[in-house]
Amino acid sequence: MERLDKFLSSRGGYSRREAQKLIKGGEVGVNGEICKIPERKLDPENDSVTCGGKTVCADEHIYIMLNKPAGVVSATEDSRDATVIDILPPELKRKGLFPAGRLDKDTEGLLIITDDGDFAHKILSPKNHIEKRYVARLDGEITEDTIRRFEQGIVFSDGTKCMPAGLEIVPGSQNSTGIVTICEGKFHQVKKMFAVCGLKVVHLQRISVGNLYIDGKLPIGSAKKLTNLDVDAIFIGKIH
């Protein structure tokens, strides 16, 4: 059981005080009837709550797929740039959202945004071997030697060792576009791995996390709520 004001503030993205104001102002319904008592106890699994006539999603956590555009930063707040949280549509916003991992400002593609810290840890920890796949367009040609070096594990100039990574050439790209698969997320990792091999990444897009792929119909800059099935797909073949 959970108090109505706590439920509304955690699921609706309001502060506790804002939630209490909405409740006392008659904006909030429980099972079809207006309820003005912030302390009212609810069973989130069985009671339905509305705010301003719209149903408040009762799920404890939310998982969002964002097709990140270039130009926004993977942070919750930034004094200069728009963040990936700023560009979410209002109906998906709630308190405590953060990006599960970081894409560079100029990187596009799949970014999962959630309010579930345990989940984020699970997909990010290299120990769990959740593969992240990127399409990288380069200023030169990928060679057999580049592929071999990725397979062996690239070592950065400061001695940092990367885990073995997959690299496949995209057919028809004149060897200048590759699909990179990594299980870790070091700062600027893909760009730095190619740089070690003498190549510059001119465009980078993340296409998958585990077995969850970017929805090809989701326009760049748009977001959608993931279903439980989508979230489970991330971990197919993994223990979680």
For 110-172, the DSSP string reads EEEEES-HHHHHHHH-GGG---EEEEEEESS---HHHHHHHHH--B-TTSPBPPP-EEEEPTT
Positions touching ligand URA (CB under 6 A) are 103-104, 107, 188-191, 204
Q: Is-catalytic flag, 104?
A: yes
CB of 186 to ligand URA, least distance (A): 8
* Residues forming a β-bridge with 3: 41
Cβ nearer to ligand URA, comparing 38 with 99: 99
Shortest distance in whole angstroms from residue 168 CB to ligand URA? 17
Q: What is the dihedral of CA 71, 157, 162, 197, to 10 degrees?
A: 70
| Diameter of the chain measured on Cα atoms | 69
User: What torsion, rounded to 10 degrees, do the Cα atoms 239, 209, 65, 56 define?
Assistant: 10
Q: Which helix (H) or strand (E) holds 6?
A: helix 4-12
- As measured in angstroms, the least distance from the Cβ of 149 to ligand URA is 16
Give whichever of 27 and 106 is closer to ligand URA, judged by the CB atom. 106
CB of 66 to ligand URA, least distance (A): 13
Token reading at 128? 């769990």
Closest CB to ligand URA among 19 and 85? 85
Q: Cβ closer to ligand URA: 6 or 191? A: 191
Q: Which residue is catalytic, options 104, 106, 215, 230?
A: 104
d(CA 155, CA 196): 8
Catalytic residues: 104
